[in-house]
DNA sequence: CGAAAGACTGGGAGCGCTCCCAGATCGGGC
DNA sequence: GCCCGATCTGGGAGCGCTCCCAGTCTTTCG
């Protein structure tokens, strides 16, 4: 039999107990556990054996307290789980972040916030320093969660800035160039009555894509007609509604640039129902190059936004920021690319 | 000016500093922070003011260490983010869990594990007692993550048991009854050559749904024909492949029961391409009643599985288990219901 | 052969909080 | 005026770990 420290029941074994059993001091055990150098082979073996026998696992809370590191980072998504599930963009971001984190010891924590209550709980969680840094995507201009982040002083990286003067580090796709090239493509096809379906205008990405659209039209000497602009919120349903509206206001339109693939898919459905052929009657271009773009009928021409790479870049920036905190913020702009399929 | 403890810069203020500033002891501050009774109005006010002035926020790691509580629970999903995004089931689970947690102080942490490396990292995270309990869905029979969970001794609840003798608490839909009633419905419609597309057979849900199918056929005196059974993995693509296979082996079939809506949707696409009318030539029933079921052409008849309620029940069980740990495990079976639309 | 330079090791101090107990304070009843 | 209980309050003793320093034991070199 063995001392009290060994059995199950008396709680989990501690560093101290391992040390006692291995006949060494706490320091030595700590060194072994953390893979530090300067431990004799003999001591190391003894400790390892004691750890195995006792089934010792370090207590993270204690370690956190001592080192003031949490070994975890949060990816905050201020949307509902429905949205998380319906927009492939998030999946790509998650994949990118996870892959960049894969050879670190950092645990990725996904946190969804939509209610005020959840926001407060998140505040407590972050303030309590349960993570070493925060990633956040899908940020709306007036999102209170961001203030919360700034206030905690935790290293933070946004996926999608709120404005050009964003004071926090961020990774952004080249929305302007993407939208611009989409509309240029439509113009090149000979389209002249080009409508657009925007995203929610409290998001910079939506505003800038609209800008890109307008700029391309202006360059082509085309007027900016309000009735060619309808608003959505990036979701499929909103794309349908917006398209219906456009068709009503401007039956003569010959092309649509939607600020997201999902909205473009919704628009295509409405167009087809209205008897318009795509692209013969109306050409359609989306934005994102999400999986759905490949499965629409016909396959969708769209602007590729490197979402996964965006996730990776975000993680990379955050790691840098954690490693060397600094007042200055970093930013990365990822270029976009037009993928021509059959809808335009 | 003020003492070193007060200013910004010298790190975050501690309980002790708040106590000093308010002119009270640590105990009193702790009591105020935790809303405990037995503090005079005067002391309380002084402490609250000091907290506000200093911008004090308790350090969770320290609290965790002292209380051995983490105030967080993990929802582990052993799938890729792609899957998370494509299957609405997960979104519903998350929603249910979140809603049940909404009036607790527990932070919900979503953790995706797919690689071995991620699994090990999760082990460290859980062993380190960074959460008070674990929820896990989409469990495959031989999933090593479960052993990991059992080993940590953390309160755990599964969404979907691994077998009838599941030794861990779980919440399960009535898969047998659901599948059975789906096939009964098909039989009632006069179908006699009823095929099925199963889920991955290393998941109990898939096995049991297949059982329900067989049982209903047997009761109707129909033989169990192997060529009427094709296998999928719950995904849409696998449904397409399975359907193509079935059509090849048994062109005469007049109905299909798919173990998930996504597979049913894939099957419907293949059927349509093959020129079969639904339900006139081939009737189709799915399982889940996920959002896609409403949008197929024609709308899909399916077995409703109360996913959100499942999430809620899981959270509820876990809370109970955390509150009163016990050797015995709990289980909840949620009933399913056939939703008849137009595909069968 | 002695001293200096390494190589290891043990354990004190402390991270910030909660728990709990011993005291101080304040009334009210006799 | 005194005693007893109720109400508050301060602070010691940890929680389990890391950091770091002062030792001890070798090894090497002049």
Residue of chain A with shortest Cα separation from B117: A102
How does B210-223 read in b/e, with b if 16+ C-beta sit within 10 Å? Answer: bebbbbbbeeeebe
Cα separation, B3 vs A166, in Å, equals: 35
Cα separation, A99 vs A40, in Å, equals: 36
C-alpha distance from A188 to closest chain B C-alpha (Å): 35
Query: Which protein residue lies nearest to nucleotide C10, measured between its Cα and the C1' atom?
Result: A25
A232-236, A257-261, B206-210, B293-297: the lowest-pLDDT one: B293-297
Q: What is the pLDDT of residue B91?
A: 87
Query: Which protein residue lies nearest to nucleotide C18, measured between its Cα and the C1' atom?
Result: B66
Checking if the pLDDT of A97 tops 70, the result is: yes
| Same structural domain, A164 and A282 | no
The answer to whether the C-beta of B1 is closer than 7 A to strand D is: no
| Strand ranges across the sheet with A283-288 | A229-231, A194-198, A255-258, A283-288, A301-304, A337-339
Q: What is the pLDDT of residue B266?
A: 95
Predicted confidence (pLDDT) per residue in A247-282, tens digit: 999 999 999 999 999 999 999 999 999 999 999 999
Omega before residue A298 within 30° of 0, cis: yes
* Residue B73: pLDDT band with limits 50, 70, 90: very high
Mean pLDDT of A180-186: 98
Q: What is the pLDDT of residue B39?
A: 87
Share the mean pLDDT of chain B: 90
CA to C1' distance (Å), from A93 to C16: 36
- Tell me if B2 is assigned to some domain: no
Mean pLDDT of A322-341: 90
| Same structural domain, A168 and A180 | no
Predicted confidence (pLDDT) per residue in B184-200, tens digit: 999 999 999 999 999 99
* Residue A296: pLDDT band with limits 50, 70, 90: confident
Q: What is the pLDDT of residue A152?
A: 82
Using alpha carbons only, what angle is made at residue B169 by residues B139 and B325, rounded to the nearest 5 degrees?
135
Find tokens 């039956």 and name the residue: A251
Instruction: Give the residue numbers spanning the domain of B16.
Output: 8-58
Q: What is the pLDDT of residue B10?
A: 55
> For a pLDDT cut of 70, what percent of chain A falls above it?
97
Q: Which chain D nucleotides are covered by protein, judged by CB under 7 A?
A: 7-21
C1'-nearest nucleotide to the CA of A67: D18
- Tell me if A124 is assigned to some domain: yes
Share the mean pLDDT of chain A: 90
| Same structural domain, B48 and B134 | no
Checking if the pLDDT of A7 tops 60, the result is: no
Find tokens 């659901």 and name the residue: B178
- Tell me if B341 is assigned to some domain: no
Predicted confidence (pLDDT) per residue in A149-171, tens digit: 887 888 999 999 999 889 999 99
* Residue A10: pLDDT band with limits 50, 70, 90: low
CA to C1' distance (Å), from A12 to D13: 20
| Same structural domain, A127 and A88 | yes
Cα separation, A186 vs A190, in Å, equals: 7
| Same structural domain, B185 and B299 | yes
A4-18, A35-49, A123-137, A263-277: the lowest-pLDDT one: A4-18
| Strand ranges across the sheet with B72-77 | A331-334, A169-173, A156-159, A133-137, A72-77, A107-112, B107-112, B72-77, B133-137, B156-159, B169-173, B331-334
Predicted confidence (pLDDT) per residue in B82-122, tens digit: 888 778 888 889 999 999 998 888 999 999 998 888 998 89
A7-21, A156-170, B93-107, B293-307: the lowest-pLDDT one: A7-21
CA B8 distance to own-chain centroid: 43
Q: What is the pLDDT of residue B131?
A: 93
- Tell me if A160 is assigned to some domain: yes
Checking if the pLDDT of B4 tops 70, the result is: no
- Between B262 and A294, residue with greater pLDDT: B262
| Same structural domain, A180 and A78 | no
Q: What is the pLDDT of residue A246?
A: 97
| Same structural domain, A183 and A299 | yes
Q: What is the pLDDT of residue A3?
A: 34
CA to C1' distance (Å), from B38 to D1: 30
CA to C1' distance (Å), from B42 to C25: 15
The answer to whether the C-beta of A35 is closer than 7 A to strand D is: no
What 8-state DSSP symbol labels residue B274? Answer: T
Find tokens 């700034």 and name the residue: A150
* Residue A325: pLDDT band with limits 50, 70, 90: confident
Residue B247: phi and psi, rounded to 5, are -60, -35
| Same structural domain, A128 and A159 | yes
> For a pLDDT cut of 90, what percent of chain B falls above it?
65
Residues 6+ apart with CB under 8 A from B326: none
CATH number, position B148: 3.40.50.2300
| Same structural domain, B187 and B285 | yes
- Compute CA distances A52 → A12, A17, A56, A222, B239, whole Å: 13, 12, 7, 74, 46
- Tell me if A2 is assigned to some domain: no
| Same structural domain, B179 and B295 | yes
Checking if the pLDDT of A1 tops 70, the result is: no
- Residues 33-92 of A, Cβ under 7 A from nucleic strand C: 37-40, 42-44, 62, 65-66, 68
Element (H, E) at B202: none
Checking if the pLDDT of A5 tops 70, the result is: no
Q: Please state the domain count of chain A.
A: 3
Q: What is the pLDDT of residue A153?
A: 83
C-alpha distance from B281 to closest chain A C-alpha (Å): 25
The answer to whether the C-beta of A280 is closer than 7 A to strand C is: no
- DSSP, residue by residue, A85-129: HH-HHHHHHHHHHHHHHTTSSPEEEEEE--SHHHHHHHHHHHHTT
- Between B307 and B87, residue with greater pLDDT: B307
CA B201 distance to own-chain centroid: 19
Checking if the pLDDT of B282 tops 50, the result is: yes
Q: What is the pLDDT of residue B8?
A: 37
| Same structural domain, A180 and A284 | yes
- Tell me if B217 is assigned to some domain: yes
With 0-12 CB in 10 A as exposed, 13-18 as middle and 19+ as buried, what is B5? middle
- Tell me if B220 is assigned to some domain: yes
Predicted confidence (pLDDT) per residue in B193-221, tens digit: 999 999 999 999 999 999 999 999 999 99
Three-state secondary structure call for residue B254: coil
Contact A231, A241 (CB under 8 A): no
| Same structural domain, A228 and A252 | yes
- Tell me if B342 is assigned to some domain: no
Cα separation, A215 vs A288, in Å, equals: 20
């Amino acid at each position: 039999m063995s001392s009290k420290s060994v059995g199950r029941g008396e709680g989990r074994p501690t560093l101290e107990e391992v040390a006692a059993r291995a006949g060494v001091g706490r320091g030595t055990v700590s060194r072994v556990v953390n893979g530090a150098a300067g431990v004799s082979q003999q001591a190391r073996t003894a400790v390892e054996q004691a750890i195995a026998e006792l089934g010792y696992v370090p207590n993270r809370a204690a370690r956190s307290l001592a080192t003031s590191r949490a070994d975890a980072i949060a990816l905050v998504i201020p949307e509902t789980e429905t949205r998380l599930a319906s927009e492939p963009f998030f999946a790509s971001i998650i994949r990118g972040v996870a892959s960049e984190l894969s050879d670190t010891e950092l645990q990725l924590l996904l946190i969804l916030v939509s209610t005020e209550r959840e926001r407060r709980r998140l505040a407590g969680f972050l303030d309590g320093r349960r993570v070493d840094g925060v990633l956040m995507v899908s940020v709306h201009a007036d999102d209170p969660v961001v203030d919360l982040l700034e206030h905690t002083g935790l290293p933070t990286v946004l996926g999608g800035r709120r404005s050009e003067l964003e004071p926090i580090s961020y990774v952004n796709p080249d929305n302007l160039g993407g939208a611009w090239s989409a509309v240029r493509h439509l113009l090149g096809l000979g389209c002249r009555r080009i409508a657009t379906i925007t995203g929610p205008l409290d998001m910079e990405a939506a505003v800038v894509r609209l800008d890109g659209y307008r700029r391309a039209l202006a360059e082509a000497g085309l007027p900016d007609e309000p009735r060619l602009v309808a608003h959505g919120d990036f979701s499929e349903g909103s794309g349908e509604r917006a398209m219906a509206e456009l068709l009503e206001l401007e039956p003569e339109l010959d092309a649509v640039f939607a600020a997201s693939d999902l909205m473009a898919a919704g628009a295509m459905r409405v167009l087809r129902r209205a008897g318009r052929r795509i692209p013969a009657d109306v050409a359609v271009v989306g934005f994102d190059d999400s999986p759905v773009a490949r499965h629409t009928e016909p396959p969708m021409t769209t602007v590729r936004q490197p979402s996964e790479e965006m996730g990776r870049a975000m993680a990379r920036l955050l790691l840098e920021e954690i490693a060397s905190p600094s007042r200055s913020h970093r930013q990365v702009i990822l270029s976009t690319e037009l993928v021509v399929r059959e809808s335009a």
